[in-house]
Amino acid sequence: MRRQFPLLGSRRAVAGLMVTALAMAGGAAQAQNQTSPSQPVSGSLTLYTSQLEPDAAATVEAFRQRYPGVTVEWLRGGTNQILPRLRAEIAAGSPRADVLLLADALTFESLAAEGRLRESPEVRTGGVPAERLDPKHRYFATKLITTGIVYNTRAPFAPKSWADLLRPEARNMIAMPSPSVSGAAALHIAAMVQAPGLGWDYLGKLAKQGLQPRGGNGQVLQAVASGERAYGIAVDYLALREAARGAPVRFVFPEDGVSAVTEPAAILSTTKNVPAAVAFVSFLLSREGQELAAKQGFLPADPGVAPPAGFPDPHSIKVLALDAARAAKENEADLRRFNDLIE
């Protein structure tokens, strides 16, 4: 999933629709365009994102079709690449990004605590539930990338819950991404720590099962698909995609809940184009934006939008509650404690 970190401006979407023109098109057209703000949208917008390059290109192009008056420059890279660049720009007094679209809420909580994110109550949140949004409107969930259990079709048993991984048959047969490498894995640890009935007691028992952290989610999936490990803790879309391609793996959304990376979007407090930034985030949360997320293979943040093939009814998936502010504060200590458990 890692790709080269390209130079800013390597992709550009140029555009020009004013909302006043939509009004001229009539009330029906205006009703259909749920992402249009109440003032003209034009000018330039800079997006920093950790989306895969094809997904980022498709997202910007879809926005361009809706708002051809906005010129979008975008830069993509891993969150661990984008954040140092952003902080260097801030230190130099010249942050270039208007909008961030990155992996997890912990990153945004840290930025919010520094006062880097704009409170944006004017963003249209569509059908995304309130519990998936920051109460202060500083960042907004755009999709759910859940972490559950992937298992080999020849595994001793098909797990249904996290507790099943503590069965004797699973001993020394479980892999997971390193939380020092994978943001989704770090957030998963935080969610497990906060979950009633799981917490450090469960993680300690799991470590004694011979849990083996290794690299990222792709490496875990490879270990399970090859039969090197029977079970893995991994993100949903990778496992479901490979299962659809014929790999001998299945994915389970544990009945006691999954953690979820929400790939939030946020507007920086230093943005020079508030209308365009609000329009972009509103577009991501609109039905059109959520259907695009599903088309890209992700579970939409709006449960009213049909999920990709292979996913269950979104209403049947229990998502573990997460106090993101607490998780951000405790992240380093949690990772140290977890690493001590598995050593």
pLDDT of residue 27: 34
Model pLDDT, residue 39 = 61
The amino acid present at 50, given as its one-letter code, is: S
Burial class (CB in 10 A: 0-12, 13-18, 19+), 231: buried
At residue 172, the pLDDT reads 96
Nearest alpha-carbon partner for 147 in 64, 82, 235: 235
Domain ranges for the chain, please list them. Answer: 11-142+262-311, 145-260+317-342
Write out pLDDT tens, residues 78-123.
Answer: 887 899 999 999 999 999 999 999 988 888 999 999 999 999 999 9
How far apart CA 70 and CA 230 sit, in angstroms, is 49
pLDDT value for 55: 94
What homologous superfamily is domain 145-260+317-342 in, according to CATH? Answer: Periplasmic binding protein-like II (3.40.190.10)
Residue 136 burial (10 A CB sphere; 0-12, 13-18, 19+): exposed
Beta carbons within 8 Å of 270's beta carbon, 6+ residues apart: 90, 95, 116
pTM of the model: 0.82
Angle between the N-to-C axes of helices 274-285 and 287-295, in degrees from 0 to 180, rounded to the nearest 10: 60
In the numeric block, the tokens 């507790």 are attached to 163
- CA distances 166 to 51, 83, 190, 202, 299, Å, are 34, 37, 19, 9, 28
- Do 11-142+262-311 and 145-260+317-342 share a fold? yes
Q: What's residue 103's pLDDT? A: 83
What is the structure's pLDDT at 343?
78
pLDDT digits 0-9 by tens, 213-252: 988 899 999 999 999 999 999 999 999 999 999 999 999 9
3-state secondary structure of 295: helix
Q: With beta carbons less than 8 A apart as the criterion, state whether 101 and 49 touch.
A: yes
Instruction: Specify the CATH class of 11-142+262-311 in words.
Output: alpha beta
What single DSSP character describes residue 36?
A: -
- Tell me the C-alpha distance between 324 and 109, whole Å: 7
Q: How far apart are CA 265 and CA 249, in angstroms?
A: 32
Question: Contact 252/158 with Cβ under 8 angstroms?
Answer: yes
pLDDT tens for the chain, residues 1 to 343:
333 344 344 344 433 322 222 222 333 333 333 444 456 799 999 999 988 899 999 999 999 999 999 999 999 988 878 999 999 999 999 999 999 999 888 889 999 999 999 999 999 999 999 989 999 999 999 999 999 999 999 999 999 999 999 999 999 999 999 988 888 899 999 999 999 999 999 999 999 999 999 888 999 999 999 999 999 999 999 999 999 999 999 999 999 999 999 999 999 999 999 999 999 999 999 999 999 999 999 999 999 999 998 899 988 999 999 999 999 999 999 999 999 998 7
> Residue 176 and residue 49: Cα distance in Å, rounded?
25
Look at residues 37, 97, 43 and name the one whose alpha carbon lies nearest to residue 71: 43
